Amino acid sequence: MYLKELIKFFRIDLTNEDYLAIADTVRRENYMSLKTLAFLTILFTFVMSVVSYAAHDPISITILHVSLMLIAGLFLLFITHYKKNSHQLIIAEIHIFCALLLFYAIILSTYLNPDHPAVSFVAIILALPLFFTDKPKHMALFICFFALLFLVFSFLFDDRDVLLFDCVNGII
């Protein structure tokens, strides 16, 4: 009884016809969100690059920040100058950009900082669905894939003191 109510609570009754009716609005909003998030990523990683360099962090961390800043800049140039803004292309660009951010967070949180909790990954994976609209199944599979990838990286690179904490946060 409770299981059926729980499933009904999380069910989204969005048929393909309903989705097609709002697809143009979703496409426009996703495109604007993608441009905004790419720009914010450039600003954030610029600041993080300067802070990382000034704090004498390992050069690999500074290089990671600068790399993401440059890639986000190229990505922003591409999406603003390539004018074929079909719904499927924008969804693909969103998934590519989100994957880039999540790979960045996984590398930063596990490989480059194995002795610190994975705050970056948790923050990014929780925030990304707030920026974009896609079919719920697609978003759930995307998040699950990267959560599993994060868990693999945690097992490979995290220190023993942080591993349990990261695993619990990655699963939740």
pLDDT single digits (tens) 43-57: 999 999 999 999 998
pLDDT-derived band at 70 (thresholds 50, 70, 90) equals very high
CA-CA distance, 59 to 88, in Å (whole number)? 38
pLDDT-derived band at 5 (thresholds 50, 70, 90) equals low
pTM for this entry: 0.82
One DSSP character per residue, 69-119 reads HHHHHHHHHHHHH-----HHHHHHHHHHHHHHHHHHHHIIIIIS-TTS--H
Domain ranges across the chain? 25-171
- List C-alpha distances in Å: 53 to 43, 45, 65: 16, 12, 10
pLDDT-derived band at 169 (thresholds 50, 70, 90) equals confident
